[in-house]
Structures are given as C-alpha cells and as structure tokens.
Structure 1
Amino acid sequence: MVLLLTMLTLAVVQLALALHVRNTVLDAAAEGARLASLAGSGPGDGVARTRELIDAALASEYAADIEAGETMQAGIPVIEVTVRAPLPVIGLFGPPGSLEVSGHAAVETID
C-alpha cells in the first residue's frame, strides 16, 4: 500500500514538472516572438531572447533547437518562434524534440 501511494505521489510530481517545463518554454517562445515583432527587431532577436529566458529558468538543453521566422496569418505578417525541447519523463530527462511549442506575435509597422 505504501509503495502504491509513493508511486502515485511521484507520478503526480513528475506530471507537475512536465507541465512546468512546457509552460516555461511556451512563455519564453511567446516573449521571444513579441520582442522579434517590434519595429527595429528581427527573428534573430527573438531567438536570442527565447534562449536567454529558457537558459535562466531551466537548462541549456531545453534551448538547443529554436527557430524563428515570419509568416502570414489572415493577411497579417506574424513572427513565429518555435522551440523543440525534451519532454521530461524521468526527472528532467526525456526524449529530445518530443515537446514542440510556438509563440506568435503580429509584426509592428511604423507608417
């Protein structure tokens, strides 16, 4: 009974850790997209900001695969920052690239 309760507790803690990692990486991607969408900034600035935020909050392995580019959504230019990171399955270890999140922001123009 104690073993079952311990395993259930560890499973809940692991789920909470996986959700924390996902939310942190998603927030960093969104913040990178917002920075890249400002007038005078570009996709490279968004990648750098995303990497900086992930390095500060998690570990550098989670910031290894970050891409940014400009796309069109409903006729509006949008910056998209995509992060591929490991989804933690046991502790902070997991299969690489199993978590993919994207942040979007409309490109600012000055007329």
Structure 2
Amino acid sequence: MLARLRARSQRGAAVVDFVLVLVVLVPLFLGMLQVALVMLVRNTLAAAASEGARLAATSDRGPGDGVALTREQIDQAIAGRYAEDVTVRRVLVDGAPTIEVTIHARVPALGIGGPAVELSVTGHAVEEQP
C-alpha cells in the first residue's frame, strides 16, 4: 500500500523534470544556432569581398566589376539582402595601391527578425599595374 502511495505521488514528476530541462536547453540550442548563422554569413561575406577585390584589382577590370561580382556571389550563396551595402575604394597599404571592398550587413536573430548583429567585412587586393 505504501508503494502505491509513493507511485501516485511521483506521477507527473517526469513532465516537470522535462519542462525544467527544456527551459535550459532550448535557449542554449537557439544561441548556438544564432552563432552558427552569424559565422556562416560573416565567412561568406569575407570570401565574397576578397573575390570582388581581386577582380577589381586586375588591370583590365574596374571597381564596378568587383562590386558586381561581390553582390552576385553573396546573392547566390546566402541572400541578396546581405549585398545591399557594398562599397569599393582605392587605398594605399604600405605604399602599394590596393583595392578595398567593404560590406556592411545586419544578420537578424535566427534569420527571422528581431535584434540584429551588425557585420562589417573588408577584402583587400593589391592593384595590378598595367
């Protein structure tokens, strides 16, 4: 009889334990997912900026070609909304003429909205001299 009373008093304890574990695990999982999304976008933007700078730095191409390639790669890899703010300029790095492609983007929380992470990524390439 005592065993039955104990079994009845434990009924529903598994549900409470499950909810308590979920309260900790779900935010942790969503946080890791957000970090992974931001890193994916940052790495993609960095690669696109570098490729755009390399193209713009060749002797037969110009800055507009670099911006176009950068935007195209971002659009194909992730989404065109990350390619809206792409700038290119000529700078001197250690006395060498260099093309610099900069991308500014906002990565929303889990890709669905909410507070965003601001990213600014830059790619450089030494300009070829004709």
**SS of the residue aligned with 1:86?**
strand
Aligned length: 109
Gaps of 5+ in 1: none
Matched, 1:106 2:126: yes
Higher RCO (Cα < 8 Å, 6 or more apart): 1
The correspondence for 1:44, drawn from 51, 64, 67, is: 64
Query: Does the aligned pair in 2 maintain the 1:65–1:85 contact within 8 Å?
Result: yes
Which of structures 1 and 2 has the bigger CA Rg?
2
Matching residue of 2:84? 64
TM-score after normalising by structure 2 = 0.78
The amino acid that maps onto 2:29 is T
How high is the sequence identity, in percent, across the aligned residues?
46
TM-score after normalising by structure 1 = 0.90
Matching residue of 2:39? 19
**SS of the residue aligned with 2:110?**
coil
Gaps of 5+ in 2: 1-20
Q: 1:92 to 1:18 in 2, by over 3 A?
A: farther
Matched, 1:80 2:100: yes
Q: Distance in 1 between matches of 2:98 and 2:42?
A: 22
Question: Alignment RMSD, CA only?
Answer: 1.5
**Which stretches of structure 1, 4 residues or longer, exceed 3 Å deviation after superposition?**
92-96
| Higher helix fraction (1 or 2) | 2
Deviation readout 1:9-56 (Å, 9 max, x if unpaired): 111111111100011011100110001001111111100000000000
